[in-house]
Amino acid sequence: ATSRALIVSTWDFGAAANAAAYAQWKKTGNLVDALEVGAWVPEADPENHSVGYSGYPDRDGHVTLDAIIMDDRGNVGAVAALEDFMHPISVARRVMEKTPHTFLVGEGAHQFAVEQGFQKTKLLTPEAEKAWREWLKTAKYQPIANSENLRGSALDHDTIGMVACAPDGRLAGACTTSGMAFKLRGRVGDSPQAGSGLYVEAGVGAATATGVGEEVTRIVGSARVVGSMRSGMSPQAACREAVLHIAKLRGDAIRDAQVGFLAINSRGEVGAFALQPGFTFAVTDPQGGTQVRAAESLK
Ligand code: SD4
C-alpha cells in the first residue's frame, strides 16, 4: 500500500470525476487526457448546478462557463464567459493545443468553439431557470459557504478543481465552473485564471481553489500555494498559509464566505485547507482507490 495520491478533486462530487479520470489515465497514461475526461463528469451532470450543463445562470439568465487546463511544461489553455457549450474544459484544451494563446473569452471563445466543431447545447435547464426566477424575486447576491454540496439549493455555486501527480512526478491540473450563481453578466472568477484558480509547476506541485473566486483572485491564490511548496512547505501547510493570508487581509468582509485550496506535490502528497468547515475533497490513489475527506478549516 502507498499513501501517495494520483488525482485529487474538490468536493464530494469530485469522486465521480476522479473515477472517470482514473479510467482514462489507465488507458493512455496521459494526465491531461485524464483530467479532461474527469472534468466532463460534473460538466454534463444535470444535478450539479455549479459546473457546465444545468449550471445556474448569471443574473440576466445566461449560463456562462469558465475553465482552464494546464500541464507542467508551461502549456495552458483557458476560456471564460463561454456560452452554449457543455464542455468548456475541452475548448480550453483546444486553446492550449491549437492556438498561440492561453486564454479566450466571451464571443471570441464562442466563435473558436464553433470553428473547432463543438456542438452547441442549451445549458440552462428548467430546474436552473426556476431557481433563477425564484432568485429574481429578491435579486440579492450573497455567496454562501459550501453550497456546492447542497444539491439543488438556489444558492448552489462552485467548481471542480482537479490536480494530479503521476507516479513519475509529472503534474497537471484542470478547473471548470459555471461560476457564482446569479453573478453580474461578464463576471469572471478565479477558476480560469492561471495562478488563481489553478497553478502547476514541474518538480514542485499543483494547486487549485474553490469558493468565492474574488477572494482567491485578490491573492493569486493557487500560485501562492505552489510558491509555498517550492519553498519547502507541505501541501497542507501551503494551503493553510494561503487561507490565513486571505483571512488576515479581508477580515470581516469574508465572515460568511468560503474559500478552499487543494494541493498535491510532486511526491503525491496532498493537502487542503478552507476558511469554513464543510470543504471536502476526493483523493484517488494510483491503484484506483478513492476516499472523500474533509479539509481542515480556520473556523
Ligand atoms: C468562482 N471559484 O467562479 C469559482 C467558482 C465558484 O468556487 O463559484 N466557487 O468564483
Query: Of these residues, 64, 159, 176, 217, which one is catalytic?
Result: 159
Q: From the alpha carbon of 189, which atom of ligand 1 is closest?
A: 3
Reported as a pLDDT band with limits 50, 70 and 90, residue 272 is: very high
Reported as a pLDDT band with limits 50, 70 and 90, residue 13 is: confident
> Tell me: the pLDDT tens digits for 94-150?
999 999 999 999 999 999 999 999 999 999 999 989 989 998 998 887 765 555 544
The answer to whether the annotation marks 293 as part of a ligand binding site is no
- Mean pLDDT across the stretch 216-232? 98
68 lines ligand 1 (CB under 6 A): no
Using CA atoms, how far apart are residues 4 and 24, in angstroms rounded to an integer?
19
Position 150 scores a pLDDT of 44
190 lines ligand 1 (CB under 6 A): yes
Contact 191, 217 (CB under 8 A): no
> Tell me: the pLDDT tens digits for 170-191?
999 999 999 998 999 999 999 9
Q: From the alpha carbon of 143, which atom of ligand 1 is closest?
A: 8
Give the residue, out of 13, 43, 210, 222, with the most ligand 1 atoms within 8 A of its beta carbon, to mutate for a pocket test.
Answer: 210
177 lines ligand 1 (CB under 6 A): yes
Cα–ligand 1 centroid distance for 159 (angstroms): 6
Ligand 1, atom 3: closest residue by C-alpha: 179
Q: Tell whether the torsion through CA atoms of 94, 95, 97 and 100 is positive or negative.
A: positive
Q: Is 138 a catalytic residue?
A: no
- Mean pLDDT across the stretch 57-84? 96
Cα–ligand 1 centroid distance for 1 (angstroms): 35
Tell me which amino acid residue 9 is: S
Cα–ligand 1 centroid distance for 180 (angstroms): 5
Q: From the alpha carbon of 187, which atom of ligand 1 is closest?
A: 3
